[in-house]
Structure 1
Amino acid sequence: MSITRRDALRLGGIAAAGTLGAPAFGQSLPDKPIRLIVPNAAGGVADLTARTVGAALSERLKQPVVIENRPGAGGIVAGQTLLQAPADGATLMVATNAHAISKSLFRSLPFDPIRDFAPVGLMGTFAIAVLVAPQSPIRTAGDLIAQLKRDPRSGNIGTISVGSTQNLAAELFKTSAGIEATTVPFSGTPALLTSLLRNDVTAAFEIVAPLMGQIRDGSLRAIAVTSAQRAANLPDVPTLQEAGIAGFDVTSWNAIVAPARTPAPVVERINAALNASLADPTVRSKLLEAGVEARGDAPAHLGQLMEAEAEKWRGVIERAGIERQ
């Protein structure tokens, strides 16, 4: 049976609620620090989420959780590190949207992003915003769609690198809205925002979390978010669904996975500690400050979400004609 991304999150929340406060029975973890590998550099959303959740996990599992940043090659470096680790629960990895996308984005990988890793649990989700410059005459997503439908050459959409969630969200937006504007990829967020503020691009798709200060002070204007529901940190910004694009739902996420052969009781013990951590008001508040909405999940439902996301982005990549890397 197929499952939508929204259903996976909803069911995961219900399942997680049932595990909160559950005793951590089952096979013991090795008596040594737990490595939590992050496939991104320090300071990003995934890193901040890992450090916040890792500290809470350490308290509940009574073992140190050590964050190990292993950026590079679109998550391949981190994935290989986890793949080579013993499947005993002492080595975990943060999985992101890129983990699911990589299955269709790369010609070959040294591992299968779904089969070779055991889902442990979701940590949180965070929004992608559609942004314009403060002086732009475009006030709503409806304005943007109308302009690009009238004349596709009158504007374009900026994102970060080809194959990123932001880039694919823009491609999905164009298909869903029935527009043919050019998507312009940039090497990173600073270059993208510079181009947006110079009016070199009409609009930009970018993760909200690192841009909250600029949105709040008015140096960037968010006209929509790509998630199915409004973002908790941008409650006044409508969704693309509200702009008339039925069913549009792109939400970035961070989760924890383990080596595929990790014993189920170990996975369940870590999942119980993870969900209990995410129910802690202090942890939830810290994550929200970083732009992340805490969201627990059961291992099975995270697995379904990852499979659904991989299939969803495979279709987007094929329709956009993005060449495999």
Structure 2
Amino acid sequence: MTMSTTIKKAGLARRTLMGAALAATMALGGLAPMTSAVAQDYPNKPVRIIVPFGAGGLGDITMRLAAAKMAEILDTQFIVENHPGAGGVAAANQLMKSKPDGYDLIVMSNGTTIAVSLFEKLGYDPQVQFRPISTLAWFDLGLFVNPNSDYASIQDVIAKAKAQPGVLNIASINPGSTQNLAAEFFRSATGIDATIIPYKTSPDVLAALIRGEIDLAIESPTAFAGAIRDNQAKMLALTGTTRNPSHPDTLTASEAGVDGFVVDGWNALWTLKDVPDDVIAKLNDAMRQVAAMPEIQAKFKAMGTSARAMSPQEMADQFESDRARWAKVIEDAGIEKR
């Protein structure tokens, strides 16, 4: 099913304000400062953003907020289309049918780095066929226990697992998800013998946690927001590199003593590999402006995420780092490729 929304242009044209910032963006991203008719005219027609998730999810909502602001900055329309499907294949196929002129963009995520390693024949190679523009939204996962349990810290959970090998139960949503592989990663990083139990949905995971069927749940703080508020789930730590601005008093897993256990989720804009450098730079500059807006920062924080842009090279490096990490997790866990 395809859902399309047009973000109409608003406000005065601001292209003339972007020259200096554009040059800086090129330098940061390792792009040669080109002056071409493409860059001068771009964009002169609507830009399409292809989202590989259904409407209403975190990746969809954050990208729609950004698209509305990019429409103002670049003085054009942005059309957001949803093409959900396993591994992002449906969305990728849409992008691969387009021309490499910068008018068709796609949302990539940390989930894409998992799909590359998990699917035997994914049908596309983002690192070969696509190129990055910038990240937009960053989010992490929480390590949750039942508030009535004896676990006061993540070290208490690890201690029980080591004292009673094979007894501890860890819950996540479906196999191959970021949450599920984060559970595998946690088991590997801590060296514990624990059972990972996959559930179909986040509410199913929460229900199991409330009933006391599991010891630890790994899930998005946004998905468990109501449970945190109603004291149905206690968050012991978060998986991000830095503390979540929505939960500033919660330790990162690294701060809690689980060295090397970092799971940063992100959504980003990519496009076809042959899109000109100067067009990439112009889009990157617009993304940087959007991510820095106080309004966007506030809205993202309310959703438990943070807005942060990257240069194209930084994004490429992040993708490869995550791909290699998840490939090792999948191999170490003995997860069969699909």
Same fold (TM over 0.5): yes
For residues 29-71 of structure 1, the C-alpha deviation after alignment (integer angstroms, 9 at most, x for no partner) is 3532211111111111101110111111111011111211111
Alignment match, 1:103? 116
Contact 2:34/2:277 (8 A) holds in 1? no
Give me the whole-angstrom Cα distance separating, in 2, the residues matched to 1:119 and 1:290.
Answer: 24
1:126 and 2:139 equivalent?
yes
- Out of 17, 40, 44, the residue aligned to residue 57 of structure 2 is 44
- Out of 65, 71, 79, the residue aligned to residue 66 of structure 1 is 79
Sequence identity percentage = 37
CA RMSD of aligned residues (A): 2.2
1:230 and 2:231 equivalent?
no
Gaps of 5+ in 2: 1-20
Contact 2:140/2:239 (8 A) holds in 1? yes
Shift of 1:83: 1.6
Alignment match, 2:194? 181
Q: Secondary structure at the match of 2:304?
A: coil
Shift of 1:198: 1.4
Q: How does 1:1-325 map to 2 (within 5 A)?
A: 19=25, 27=39, 28-325=41-338
Give me the whole-angstrom Cα distance separating, in 2, the residues matched to 1:114 and 1:193.
Answer: 36
Shift of 1:271: 0.5
Shift of 1:186: 1.4
Q: Secondary structure at the match of 2:127?
A: coil
- Larger relative contact order (CA 8 Å, sep ≥ 6): 1
Contact 2:59/2:267 (8 A) holds in 1? yes
Change (3 A) 1:24 1:147: farther
Q: Secondary structure at the match of 2:224?
A: helix
Q: TM-score, normalised by structure 2?
A: 0.87
Contact 2:208/2:214 (8 A) holds in 1? yes
Change (3 A) 1:25 1:199: farther
| Counterpart AA for 1:151 | Q
Change (3 A) 1:154 1:146: same
For residues 164-183 of structure 1, the C-alpha deviation after alignment (integer angstroms, 9 at most, x for no partner) is 11111111111111101011
Shift of 1:105: 0.3
Question: After TM superposition, where is structure 1 displaced by more than 6 Å over at least 4 residues in a row?
Answer: 22-25
Larger Rg: 2
